[in-house]
Amino acid sequence: MPYAKVEPKGCVERHGNVQVKLSFYLEPGDARYDEHHVRVGSNWRTNPFHNHMIHVSPETTDEEIEVAARLHLHNFYAAWASHRDIVEGWHDHRQPVRDYSPERRQLCEARVVTIRRDLPSLTLRDVA
């Protein structure tokens, strides 16, 4: 079953929003697993089959981020598994509101700190 992880270094303030980087991984038995389970030197590692950025307001809860991550994981894996263009997994084309005010940026930067602290330990699985 594919899973998502929050990548802390990809979580930043961007245009007055909180950018959350999600990496989507495969496990043995998942479609096309061998394409991203690779040997690096003498070690094996699994690379993400897709990295995705979501942009949320600083008021967005951890639970709302988890719901969004699972939704995107489900959609991108469906496209991946059926050999369709991975872009077909992107169903939410809404553009985030841009707010360049210092107050908004400060709220976003504070939220980034909590996301980097609290969410990277989660492994989010597709429940759809």
Report in angstroms the alpha-carbon separations of 43 from 24, 46, 47: 20, 10, 13
Please report the pLDDT score of residue 29 as a whole number.
95
Of 39, 47, 34, the residue nearest 7 (C-alpha): 47
pTM here is 0.89
pLDDT the model gives residue 45: 94
**Average pLDDT of span 30-39:** 95
Domain that holds residue 90: 3-125
Planar angle of CA 22, 25, 29, nearest 5 degrees: 155
- Report how many domains make up the chain: 1
* Distance in angstroms (rounded) separating the CA atoms of residues 90 and 74: 10
